[in-house]
Structure 1
Amino acid sequence: MHFYVDESKAKGYLVAVASGPRPRLALPRNELSALVLPRQRSLHMKDEGDSRRRQIAHAIVHLGELDGIHAVIYDAGRAGTERERRARCLAALVDDAARHPEASVIFDRDESLVSWDRPRMIELTRAAGARARISYDHLPRHAEMLLAIPDAIAWSWARGGEWRERVRPVVLEVRAV
């Protein structure tokens, strides 16, 4: 199983994690790549206009229906520091990933978090007894098109209203952590 991870810091702190089975990820990757406009390297909701945001959200929901991609949102709210909130989200993510025989966690690369995440992931995967079964990496969004999915879900969920409703069909669970 592959897990694609991005966060939103607007109105609290939440981490959106999109996942899907490995054998079925080529088509979603291609479909999202087809949405990238000339002169764009990747899709990123904060850089798009509303009509493009609607198009991207619609495509993600469609991918969920066809290809079994779904998302879980870990909502850490506003309690504690940003790092404490992230730590709670990562702990819940690792617990979920550890339920699979093998898991790959791909984070949207944020240079300010890479060196902080690495020791946390080592500690969390060891504590879950899954150090050898869970791999993880931080990739720039242009290197992994499927990172557009948690980006769009996190952005939409944090915005609320119509945007949240647009992505709700692929969100299996919202978990307070």
Structure 2
Amino acid sequence: MRRLLAPLIRHPLAVLSLTLLWLLLQVSLAPAQILLGLILAWVVTGVSSRYWADRRRPRRPHLLALYLWRVAVDVVIANLRIAALVLTPSRQPRPAFVELPLALEEPFARYILAITITLSPGSLSADLSDDRRVLLLHLLDAPEPADADMECAKIKNRYEHLLLEVFG
């Protein structure tokens, strides 16, 4: 019985989130839909949880709020920059690939950094080296190598440094 309930016990938030998503998609709070949503969420969580990355608890979780604030502000600013780039016909984007050396040891922290970079318009995490020490980025507009270096320094100072503090 315990093995049957394992997904619900180990990942209650995932089961609850998937159930709520199911109910939103069905636009119904009928008991049958709630039960079906719970069953589907339980099955999906049970089958997929073995593929989830192991993650440690943050050592300083209060800094995650600061991290999320920084990401939100930077996403808004990046949206404005990309909109200006797109709406200025005389200025053509000059894309570039850049290697970002990583100081992060924690796999989950590297994952968060890669997702953060991808969420920000104009940048994309393209690849992680085999030794997990270098993240390959695609920048939409990096006219000069110095601009790419500046972007890497910004990522390291604003995001990686804070993730190092959170996950130690």
TM-score, length-normalised on structure 2?
0.25
Give the number of the structure whose residues are more often strand, by fraction.
Answer: 1
Please say which structure displays the higher CA radius of gyration: 2
TM-score, length-normalised on structure 1?
0.24
Give the number of the structure whose residues are more often helix, by fraction.
Answer: 2
